[in-house]
Amino acid sequence: MDYEPELGIVIGRGGSDLTPEEAISRIFGFTILNDFSARDIQMREMPGKLGPFKGKHFACGGGPVIATPDELDWHGGLRMQARVNGETLCDTSSAEAIWSVEELVAWAS
């Protein structure tokens, strides 16, 4: 098992075909997620050139807190850490993402 810290974007209101500017008003809050991955299965599948299907996206842990946008300076990026028994294994920020939060919500809509 491996971990992948992810930023969870909690949607509060629906909408479709949103622009990034419209998407901001749909965000209820943010949480941290852990996208669990079975790397042994993933590595067995990769030589087939079809991508890692069975080794990914089978489990996800989230929370335990949702922070609302007014509580955070989220435009500057949100820090995420993965720690096991006090040892930091990953320390990253959503500022490193290719797409902005509002672009991701708009695309998903």
Domain with 92 in it? 5-108
Torsion on CA atoms 62, 64, 70, 72, rounded to nearest 10: -80
Relative to beta strand 27-36, strand 59-62 is antiparallel
Below-50 pLDDT ranges, the chain: none
Q: What whole-number distance in Å separates Cα of residue 24 and Cα of residue 106?
A: 9
pLDDT reported for residue 53:
60
As for how many domains the chain has, the answer is: 1
Smallest CA-to-CA distance from 34 within 95, 89, 90, 82 is with 82
Question: What is the C-alpha to C-alpha distance for residues 26 and 98, in angstroms, rounded to an integer?
Answer: 21
CATH number for the domain spanning 77: value is 3.90.850.10
Note if the pTM is more than 0.85.
no
Per-residue pLDDT at 87: 95
